[in-house]
Structures are given as C-alpha cells and as structure tokens.
C-alpha cells in the first residue's frame, strides 16, 4: 500500500482515488474532468478491470482499519451551478459508492489540523467555466461565445448559466485574485484545454465587478509592503535553492565518486532548478533520495555522454534509442562509481 502511505503522509488522509492515482490506474486530468461534470462515472476512466478496482478498494479499507485510520464519508459534487452528486461506479451500488467516498483520516492529528482537513474535504469544488477551442452552440438558446459551462443538457452560454454579470480577471496577480475571490459572492475558475499537455489549465477567474474594484483598491493601498515581502521571499527561496544545490552535488559525489566536481555541480543545477519540474524538485529529490539522485545522473550522462539526442533527432523511437546507448551509458556510470 505504498500509494496509500504516500497520500496519507502528504495530506493526512487517503482515499480510493489517491490509491488509483498513485498506482497510475487513473490520470489526474480524468479526475478533473469528472469533477467538472464533463464525464460520467469515475470508474469509466480507471485503466484496469472492475474486479481489480473493487479488490484494491477493499484492500485499502483493510489496511486503513489495521493502521488505525478513522473513516469519514465525504460529499462529492460537480463543479457546476447545480452541484449535482458525482457518481463513482457504473451501477451506482450504494456500498461501492460509500467506499469510494470514504476518506481515511489519521487519528493522531491535533484538533486544529483535523478541523482544517475536515474543511478541505467538505469544501465543494470551484465552479468551472471553459474557454472553448472550437465553435459551439448553447444547448438552451443556440448562441455561442468565448465562454461556456457544461450542463447535463450540453454547453450553456454565460447568459443562460446566469454568469454574464461576472467580469474576467486573468491569472497572474495572486494577491488581486485572492482578494477578488474572497470579496465576490459568486466566482468561477476559467480553464482552457491544452492540446500539448492534455489537460485543462487555469486561465483566470470570473468575479463580481464590485469585488474586483475593492480588491484593486486594497492592492494599491499595500503595494509597497507586498513588494518588500516578495523581495524577502525571493531572498529566502534563493538561499534554500543554494543549500539544496550544494547538498545535491555532495550526494552525487558520494554516490558517484568518479564524477568530476564541476560535472556534479552542473547536474545538481540542472536537476534542482526551481520551477523546472525535474527530479531534483520532486519530494524525493529534495530529500536526497538515492534513486532520485541516480536518475538525475543517468539523465545527464544519457544526454551529454552518448549520441542519444542525435538518435532522437534522426527519428529513432525513444525506447529504441535508449537500448542503443545503454552500453555507453553503463560504461560512464561504471567509471564514475568505481
């Protein structure tokens, strides 16, 4: 139950969804689409048979009870105006639906943290509005537009969804977005499908115009203080990054004593670059996990000490290219570990 243990350590509770995501039976983009009311039942997206899924859910319950976790049934509703109940299984079996809705919570949480976890679980998903990539027609009035919401009957325009009084606030200013959302009685997240990344990505927020005006005035009033805080945060992050790079490079030198010092520093800088999404920025990388360090070194050798990139550019499939350069890769790694 490694996936369950990791989810429990990360968020203080674990669900069947967390397990399916952890073992890669389910992709996060499918969960997001399901939560946004764009799909049917969740198990439709799970990449294994129903029997294996049911067995995994039962295994999670046995493990959770043996571990002493406490069950708490949560409500799952769509990110649509009607907040209709989400369904997990094809037949809607009550016992199976209850098992999927159950959140297994750590019993050792302090009261304040338990309350925060409970609030996160009970918080309904944000309303979602979509920026369509293609022409479309409202299922109610037949008009189109730049934005739509999904309903059981099909897409709806902003007027038919009673959202046309909201104004669009583009993403980019975290303080303005946070304050406008807090002041707005009604708000909705605007997303657009990314063809390259195969997921919906946030574009901004729809909020009430008076709330946006109020948030803008608040941001103007304390702009100097926020700039000073950003500078302090930047300096703090820079110090943390420098410390991580130093420790990462030292760990490379320990695991691969034959790796030149300059090369170890270069690998660390590349792997642990903030915002890169590379292995050095993962939880395992920041914890200096041996496998994460090794993956960073292997990636560097593959790209810099073999003709792997040339093979890819010539059209050789990725796995075939890796097979062809493996002997050269192994020679360099053997020299560095000796």
pLDDT at 332 (0 to 100) = 95
Two tokens, residue 21 = 């995501």
pLDDT at 245 (0 to 100) = 93
The residue ranges of the chain whose pLDDT is under 70 are 39
pLDDT at 157 (0 to 100) = 92
pLDDT at 138 (0 to 100) = 92
Question: Looking at the whole model, is its pTM more than 0.85?
Answer: no
pLDDT at 265 (0 to 100) = 94
pLDDT at 176 (0 to 100) = 94
pLDDT at 264 (0 to 100) = 95
pLDDT at 17 (0 to 100) = 93
């Amino acid at each position: 139950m490694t996936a369950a243990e990791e989810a429990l350590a990360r968020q203080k509770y674990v669900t069947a969804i967390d397990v399916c995501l952890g073992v890669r039976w389910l992709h996060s983009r499918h969960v997001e689409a399901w939560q946004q009311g764009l799909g049917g039942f969740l198990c439709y997206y799970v990449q294994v048979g129903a029997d294996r899924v049911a067995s995994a859910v039962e295994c999670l319950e046995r493990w959770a009870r043996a571990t002493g976790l406490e069950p708490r049934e949560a409500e799952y509703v769509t990110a649509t105006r009607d907040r209709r109940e989400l369904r997990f299984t094809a037949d809607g079996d009550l016992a199976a639906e209850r098992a999927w809705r159950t959140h297994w919570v750590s019993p050792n949480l302090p009261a304040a943290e338990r309350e925060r976890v409970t609030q996160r679980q009970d918080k309904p998903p944000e309303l979602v509005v979509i920026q369509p990539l293609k022409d479309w027609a409202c299922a109610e009035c037949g008009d189109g537009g730049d934005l739509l919401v999904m309903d059981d009957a099909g897409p709806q325009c902003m007027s038919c969804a009673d959202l046309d009084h909201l104004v669009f606030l583009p993403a980019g200013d975290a303080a303005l977005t946070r304050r406008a959302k807090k002041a707005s009685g009604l708000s909705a997240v605007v997303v657009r499908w990314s063809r390259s990344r195969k997921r919906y990505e946030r574009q901004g927020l729809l909020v009430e115009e008076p709330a946006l005006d109020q948030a803008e005035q608040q941001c103007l009033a304390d702009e100097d203080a926020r700039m000073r805080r950003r500078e302090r945060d930047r300096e703090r992050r820079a110090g943390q990054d420098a410390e991580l790079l130093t420790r990462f490079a030292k760990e490379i030198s320990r695991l691969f004593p034959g790796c030149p010092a300059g090369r170890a520093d270069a690998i660390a800088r590349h792997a642990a670059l903030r915002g890169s999404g590379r292995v050095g920025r993962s939880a395992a990388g920041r914890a200096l996990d041996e496998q994460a360090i090794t993956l960073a070194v292997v990636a560097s050798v593959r790209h810099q000490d073999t003709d792997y990139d040339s093979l890819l550019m010539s059209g050789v499939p990725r796995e075939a290219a890796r097979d062809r350069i493996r002997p050269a890769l192994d020679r360099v790694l053997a020299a560095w570990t000796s």
